[in-house]
Amino acid sequence: MPGCAHCGGQLDVVGNQVGRRDTCPHCGEELRSCRNCRHFDETVAKQCKEPFAEVPSDKDGANFCELFQISEGGLHAKQRTDELLSAAEALFRKK
């Protein structure tokens, strides 16, 4: 289930149906922004993994990118994954 890249709140989004004016019901941030896109990656050029995207300078604001696809929560999803992995590793550590 998709999550907001800003607050980590779960989003009730069907498919990739995110309008330009849609906002997160939890924090009010705009959803159709680079940070909420599955192509967003701070480690690559222009912070976008899609080579043909016309990347806006404002990564938090709503945009008209035709390649937008809602992500699974951006940094918050990675933090949750890291926390789960740490917990699993802790189960198997020898004391």
Range of the domain at 37: 1-95
What are the per-10-residue average pLDDT scores of the chain (95 residues)?
Answer: 85 84 94 92 91 91 92 61 72 74
CA distance readout (Å), 57 to 44, 47, 60: 14, 10, 9
Domain count, the chain: 1
pLDDT score of 45: 87
Q: Model-level pTM greater than 0.75?
A: no
pLDDT score of 75: 52
pLDDT score of 91: 82
Q: What sign results for the dihedral spanned by CA atoms 33, 35, 37, 41?
A: positive
Q: What's the token pair of residue 79?
A: 């933090």
Contacting residues for 53 by C-beta, under 8 A, at least 6 apart: 39, 46, 65, 67
pLDDT score of 30: 94
CB 58 within 8 A of CB 27: no
